[in-house]
Structure 1
Amino acid sequence: MIVCHCNTITDHEIRAAVEWMRAADQQTVITPGKIYRALGKRADCGGCLQLFLDTMQSSPSLKVPMQLRGLRRRSTQDKSNEGRYQGY
């Protein structure tokens, strides 16, 4: 099935890119932008984004590695100054 008509990207190509990225680096965070780059294409109108994301999420390899889960939450909780510079 064609997911992105502007670039003629299929659901098979998206899943294959996710599998390839996960096999290359177990700890990588896979984003739509990285998939476009892996396929040698660029996002155009954005009309396919929801279907693109749904196709990505249907891939079993997309799951965030266990050691990377919760990093954002943890890093923001450690800051007592809410990320502001010390002078503020």
Structure 2
Amino acid sequence: MLSDSQLRKAAEEMRQDPDGKLPTPGSVFRKLGCRPRCGGCFPSVIDLIHEKPEEAAGRSGYGGKSAVDRDEAGTRETVG
């Protein structure tokens, strides 16, 4: 199971690479050596990989739950 911080870090590393591509859920999973099971967590992953670093730093956290756990529990936060 991947954590929010792992996903954010991988996406940030991809953005810092001058030859890198725009991070997508699939590319972030591949960078971390993982494969998504069904893609149901992708809406949460998209929110995480595209939030600004200052937004991530201001979050109080989700009690250690991963994006997948939150999505399955129906507690995914939407950006808007």
**Shorter chain as normaliser: what TM range?**
0.5 to 0.7
With a CA cutoff of 8 Å and minimum separation of 6, indicate the structure with the bigger relative contact order.
2
The reply on whether 1:23 has 2:20 as its aligned counterpart is no
Quote the sequence identity (%): 36
1:37-56 to structure 2, matched below 5 A, reads 37-56=30-49
* 8 A Cα contact 2:10 2:28, kept in partner: yes
TM-score by length of 1: 0.52
1:1-88 to structure 2, matched below 5 A, reads 8-25=1-18, 28-60=21-53
Q: Which runs of 5+ in 2 are unaligned?
A: 54-80
Q: Which runs of 5+ in 1 are unaligned?
A: 1-7, 61-88
Q: Matches of 2:22 and 2:47 in 1, distance apart? A: 16
- Consecutive aligned runs of 4 or more in structure 1 exceeding 3 Å deviation: none
TM-score by length of 2: 0.56
Instruction: Tell me how large the CA RMSD over aligned residues is.
Output: 1.7
Q: Deviations over 1:31-67 (max 9, x none)?
A: 111101100001112221111111112145xxxxxxx
Count, aligned residues: 53
Q: Which amino acid aligns with 2:16?
A: A
- How far residue 27 of structure 1 moved from its aligned partner, in angstroms, is 5.5
Q: Which residue of 1 aligns with 2:58?
A: none
